[in-house]
Every structure is written in structure tokens, then in C-alpha cells.
């Protein structure tokens, strides 16, 4: 995987179940910022993102205003993309609003497929699925942005909803979600 940072992430965190609102909001936000960039770039800035976005506490981020947007656009420690910054704030507001419908964890995890992919090589690892298409549509309907089907499939992989570790990998099945 290259760097020690990436190896550590993939060996200990990626693909492990995340079921709490804050954790899922953080992952959803970071996946949105990653769009068009490398995951290594986002992971290297993760602590800066946590600091800049109040540790991804949805209620706090939902209260951000235009002065916060201006502060974040000037923060060299994060990706200074105004659209992604405002989307993250809007997604925090949408996360808070989703509580009336069971909450972000319920919405995301309700898109778990009946079976997980069984890739035998990296070439067989999918980049989207009918479930990620449906999740993207559901979240967009709830007001979320930067939540396309490919981004949502990456989220589903990262939080253990699907297991795309290659068959034979020491990590295959390690989430406990899939046997």
C-alpha cells in the first residue's frame, strides 16, 4: 500500500464496521473531500479535518455559518474547496434532519446488500453497486451533496457494509459483518 500511514489505515480501520452517527458523518465527509484526489492526501490531512470540522460533530458543524466557510477556505491544513466545504456543512444539517427518520446510521446500513462481492483479484473489485446507487439517491433526496454512487460504494467499503478484500487476503472477513 505504500506508506506506513496507508498500511496502518488499511490493516486496522478500513472495512471495519462504523455504526455511530459521528463516525459515519466523518467518513462520508472525508469520502466527499476525496472525490478527485487520492485517499493518501485525505488521510494525511485527517487530523486537520477533524480540528477544522469540530471532530465531525454534526450538531456543531450544522451551526457553521459564512464566517466558518471563510475560515475553512483559508485553512491550508485541509482541502480548501469551497463547494466541498459548504457541502460538508449542508450534509451536517441533513444528518441532523435525518434523525427524525431513524438517523444516518439507519439510512446508510439499510443499504447493506444481501451478499458482499467476492473478488479474486483487484480487477474484480467493483466501484459501485445497485445498493450504492440507491444509497446515493436516498442521501441526495435528503439534501446531501458529494454522495455519488462511486463515492457511496467507497463509503460502504470503508465502514464494513461490503467486504471487497480479495479472497485469500488476511483481512477478508475481518469485519465480522460477512463470514
Residue pLDDT, tens place only, 134-169: 999 999 999 999 999 999 999 999 999 999 999 999
What's the whole-model pTM score?
A: 0.95
CA distance 49 to 72: 10
Alpha carbon distance 23, 20 (integer Å): 5
pLDDT at 21: 98
Beta carbons of 40 and 3 less than 8 angstroms apart:
yes
Catalytic: 66? no
Yes or no: say if 119 and 70 are a contact pair by the CB < 8 Å rule: no
pLDDT at 175: 92
The pLDDT value given to residue 179: 72
For residue 9, indicate whether it is catalytic. yes
For residue 5, give the C-alpha cell. Answer: 500511514
Q: How many CA atoms lie within 13 A of 119 on its CB side?
A: 16
Q: CA-CA distance, 17 to 13, in Å (whole number)?
A: 9
157 neighbors 164 (Cβ within 8 angstroms): yes
Q: For residues 135, 136, 140 and 144, what is the CA-based torsion angle, rounded to 10 degrees?
A: 90
Mean of per-residue pLDDT scores for the chain: 96
Marked catalytic residue, from 26, 31, 131, 157 = 31
Amino acid at each position: 500500500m505504500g506508506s506506513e500511514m496507508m498500511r496502518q489505515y488499511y490493516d486496522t480501520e478500513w472495512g471495519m464496521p462504523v455504526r455511530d452517527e459521528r463516525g459515519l458523518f466523518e467518513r462520508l465527509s472525508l469520502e466527499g473531500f476525496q472525490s478527485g484526489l487520492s485517499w493518501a492526501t485525505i488521510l494525511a490531512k485527517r487530523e486537520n479535518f477533524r480540528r477544522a470540522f469540530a471532530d465531525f460533530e454534526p450538531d456543531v458543524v450544522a451551526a457553521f455559518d459564512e464566517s466558518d466557510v471563510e475560515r475553512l477556505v483559508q485553512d491550508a491544513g485541509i482541502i480548501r474547496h469551497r463547494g466541498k466545504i459548504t457541502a460538508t456543512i449542508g450534509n451536517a444539517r441533513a444528518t441532523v434532519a435525518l434523525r427524525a427518520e431513524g438517523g444516518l446510521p439507519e439510512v446508510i446500513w439499510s443499504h447493506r446488500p444481501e451478499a458482499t462481492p467476492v473478488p479474486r483479484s483487484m480487477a474484480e473489485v467493483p466501484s459501485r453497486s445497485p445498493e450504492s446507487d440507491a444509497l446515493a439517491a436516498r442521501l441526495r433526496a435528503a439534501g446531501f451533496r458529494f454522495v455519488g454512487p462511486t463515492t457511496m460504494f467507497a463509503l460502504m467499503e470503508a465502514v464494513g457494509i461490503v467486504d471487497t478484500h480479495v479472497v485469500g487476503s488476511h483481512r477478508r472477513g475481518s469485519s465480522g459483518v460477512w463470514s
